[in-house]
Amino acid sequence: MKKRKIVNWILTMGIVLTLLASSNLVYATSSETEVRNKKEDVDSKIDSTKKEIGDVQDDLSDGLKEVQKIDDQINTYQDQIDDLDDELDDLQDQIKEQEEELKKAEEKYQEQDNSMQKRLVVMYEAGQTSYLDVLLNSESVSDFISRYYLISEIAKYDSNLLSDLENSKKDIENKKKQLENTKSQIDAKKKSKQETTSALADKKELKNKQVSVLSSKEKELQKQLDELEQDKRDIQDELTKIIKQEEAKKNSKKNNTTTNKPSNNGGSTSGSTRNDSSGSASSHGYIFPIAGLSKANIRNKNYPSYTGHTGVDINIGVSGKTVRAVKGGTVVISEAKKNSDGSYRSYGEYIVIDHGDGTMTLYAHGRAGSRLVSKGQEVSQGQAIMTVGSTGNSTGEHLHFEVRVNARPVNPLPYLP
């Protein structure tokens, strides 16, 4: 009996020890998994921090850094030329309006002058008869009053006609001055553009000389950066073209405009998309582009974080997260930037949404094949549009986010909540 109790006690203790051991094993395994996950997350953040789009300045040689400085100057000159082109277009439009106004003023003046000429002919044919003669030949008091009223109206008409002629003449002179002034501005802008274009050509020649002495590896890196800059400029040109087309449509349909508001279900989006407008909106009406995250998930909040960077990189805790539209609008670009061999470059998988209020937002480096919306599609605020990835000029998962006003990139941070 006593031996059986001892055996039972030993068995019980064995079971307890086994349970404790297995518990510790589970705990150890769980802790090890967490540590490993944290390490991978840290490694990913370190890698992402070391090399994001263009953020390789620390690894550049002195020669390549010098090329980058020249590139910055080239981009500055190119931006100045683009601005001058826009100003010249505006001035040309002003000239057309002013010429049209001048033409109308001259036509009006001609009509008034013809009317005055006819009036003078009538007065000449009437001979030397004076207003006094007309009044004295009145047959009665009522006839006198009628003639007096008629004469006063004629005199008033003549006075107004002369005054209108004088005012029209002054108006024509002023419009001619405005036209000449606008043409002078165009000449000045053209001269400035010519000087800037010449400076741009000099910088490009200097760049070619600098690039020629770089190593093959540096030349390849420079080529990638050049492609990125060209893609940026192409996108900007495309967005500018879209804006001008929209303005033209608005001008041609002022009295019959149909406003397409973003639908609640995101239009013809696929069944996998979802709307999530959770989170507070900023004063601009934007929500954060990744649900559950905030500006705290942006490692570098300086703008630009480095020269040539046209947006902010949301890069903390973003792996596998869904990118959403910060505001309702129309998708104007949804494509992938790829090289001829099929590899990604620059923005990789990217989307641009026009919000119809003068602003557009750009989302770049999405996961391969993850785009959920297409060009021309209307999206609602919070609608899923793609998944965070690392396609293009990127070495770590992150969302490159831009805000553009009149197609030009601006600091996006004030637009975010």
Find the mean pLDDT for residues 163-190. 87
Give yes or no for residue 104 having a pLDDT over 70. Answer: yes
pLDDT at 161: 74
Q: Indicate the average pLDDT of the chain.
A: 78
pLDDT at 350: 97
pLDDT at 9: 45
Give yes or no for residue 330 having a pLDDT over 80. Answer: yes
Most confident residue range from 125-139, 223-237, 309-323 = 309-323
> How far, in Å, CA of 138 to CA of 16, rounded?
138
Q: Measuring CA to CA, how many Å separate 3 from each of 13, 17, 84, 256, 319?
A: 15, 21, 103, 102, 61
The model's pTM is: 0.60
- Confidence tier at 125 by pLDDT (50, 70, 90): low
Helix extents (H) in 51-130: 62-125
Find the mean pLDDT for residues 105-113. 81
Find the mean pLDDT for residues 23-28. 47
The CA-CA-CA angle for residues 131, 132, 136, to 5°, reads 125
- Confidence tier at 52 by pLDDT (50, 70, 90): very low
Q: Measuring CA to CA, how many Å separate 44 from each of 315, 317, 356?
A: 10, 10, 37
**Structure-token match 């510790």, residue found:** 24
Secondary structure of residue 399 in the 3-state scheme: strand
pLDDT at 55: 44
* Tens-digit pLDDT profile for residues 334-363: 999 999 999 999 999 999 999 999 999 999
Compute the 3-state secondary structure of the chain and give helix, strand, coil in percent, each to the nearest 5: 55, 15, 30
Domains annotated on the chain, with CATH? 92-210 (no CATH), 215-250+265-415 (2.70.70.10)
First to last CA, the chain: 76
- Confidence tier at 409 by pLDDT (50, 70, 90): very high
Q: Which residues contact 161 (CB under 8 A, 6 or more apart)?
A: 112, 115, 116, 119
pLDDT at 149: 65
- Confidence tier at 111 by pLDDT (50, 70, 90): confident
- Confidence tier at 53 by pLDDT (50, 70, 90): very low
> How far, in Å, CA of 154 to CA of 346, rounded?
78
pLDDT at 124: 64
Q: Angle at which helices 141-212 and 62-125 pack, to 10 degrees? A: 160
pLDDT at 49: 41
